[in-house]
């Protein structure tokens, strides 16, 4: 089942600071400008069900297994379209908003990229 | 001369598992806003600060003000993005969640500009 899906609409000028740290930061439409500067904006709005370890996050065709989900990550995604993806291979989150996925190179994100959570 | 609005100050301390602070929040005529960046309307913590100080709470997902007019930002950040953005912009920051300096912008987060894990009882009016 597709739990969440959004199409990338804008990429902030400072997104690379987070990518260099192995992190993708997503926000939904309507994020304040100072957050949009650091984030990938998308048009996804609705989270179906709960975000869980074992789900899969896909950036276009590149898919990563979810290993750990922080306690506020689901609410962030549901309320704000906000997702913090750490491509670090960790099975325990460091921060409550984190979603840890398999370690790997972060796929290229461009306008129109589809970001999807399946589970 | 028109009557000038009177503002009061609050002291905000870190909650049990929180970090940083204490911060003194003091809205002023040219810096009256309590900036709520939590989504879903005005968070009760932002509302409480507005009620106690006479500041004006507004929802960052609905409208915008200059950073220079913002007395404090209230966030519910899980520890990566918002946690560092407002300290970097020179805005005092309260995180509802009990986070510690982290994320790529962690170097901007100091006890002098950030306090976390804040609940209603951690906000006290001072003279």
Looking at residue A18, its pLDDT comes to 92
Which residues on B lie below 8 Å from A84 (Cβ)?
78-81
| Residue B23 Cα distances to B8, B9, B32, angstroms | 14, 10, 16
User: Is B2 a residue whose pLDDT tops 80?
Assistant: no
**Active-site annotation holds for B36:** no
The structure tokens 């999807």 sit at A116
Confidence (pLDDT) at B82: 92
pLDDT digits (tens, 9 = 90+) for B73-108: 999 988 888 999 999 999 999 999 999 998 889 999
Residue A96 sits at the chain B interface (C-beta within 8 Å):
yes
**CA B19 centroid distance within chain:** 14
Domains in chain A: ranges and CATH = 2-118 (2.40.33.40)
A to B CB pairs, distance under 8 Å: 71
Nearest Cβ partner for A34 among B89, B102, B104: B89
Tens digits of residue pLDDT in A67-116: 999 999 999 999 999 999 999 999 999 988 999 999 999 999 999 999 99
When CB atoms are compared, the residue of A32, A37, A79 closest to B60 is: A32
This model of the complex carries an ipTM of: 0.86
> Which of A30, A39, A96 faces B79 most closely, judged by CB atoms?
A96
Q: What is the pTM of this model?
A: 0.91
Give the separation between CA B80 and CA A54, rounded to whole angstroms: 22
Catalytic residue among B77, B92, B96, B115: B77
* Domain residue ranges in chain B: 9-126
Q: Are strands A114-118 and A56-59 parallel, antiparallel or unpaired?
A: antiparallel
What per-residue confidence (pLDDT) applies to B1?
52
Scan residues 12-71 of B and list those with Cβ closer than 8 Å to A: 37-40, 60-62, 64, 67
B33-70 confidence digits (pLDDT tens): 999 999 889 999 999 999 999 999 999 999 999 999 99
DSSP string, A87-102: -S--SS-SSTTEEEE-
In the predicted model, is pLDDT for residue B5 greater than 80? no
- Return the pLDDT at B103: 87
């Amino acid at each position: 089942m597709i739990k969440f899906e959004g199409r990338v609409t804008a990429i902030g000028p400072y997104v690379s600071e987070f990518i260099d740290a192995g992190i993708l930061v997503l926000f939904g439409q309507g994020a304040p400008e100072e957050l949009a500067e650091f984030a990938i904006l998308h048009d996804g709005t609705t989270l179906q069900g709960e975000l869980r370890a074992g789900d899969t996050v896909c950036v276009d065709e590149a898919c990563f297994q979810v290993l750990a989900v922080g306690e506020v990550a689901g609410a962030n995604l549901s309320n704000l379209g906000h997702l913090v993806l750490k491509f670090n291979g960790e099975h325990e989150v460091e921060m409550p908003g984190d979603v840890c996925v398999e370690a790997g190179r972060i796929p290229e994100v461009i306008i129109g990229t589809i970001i999807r959570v399946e589970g | 001369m028109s009557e000038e609005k009177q503002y009061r100050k609050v002291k905000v301390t870190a909650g049990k598992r929180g970090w940083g602070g204490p911060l003194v929040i003091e809205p002023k005529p040219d810096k009256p806003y309590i900036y709520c960046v939590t989504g879903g309307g005005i968070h009760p913590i932002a509302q409480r600060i507005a009620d106690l100080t006479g500041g004006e709470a507004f929802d960052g997902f609905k409208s915008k003000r200059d950073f220079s007019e913002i007395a404090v930002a209230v966030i519910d950040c899980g520890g990566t993005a918002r946690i560092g953005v407002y300290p970097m912009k020179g805005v005092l920051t309260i995180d509802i969640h009990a986070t510690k300096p982290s994320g790529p912008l962690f170097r901007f987060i100091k006890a002098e500009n950030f306090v976390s894990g804040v609940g209603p009882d951690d906000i006290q009016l001072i003279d």
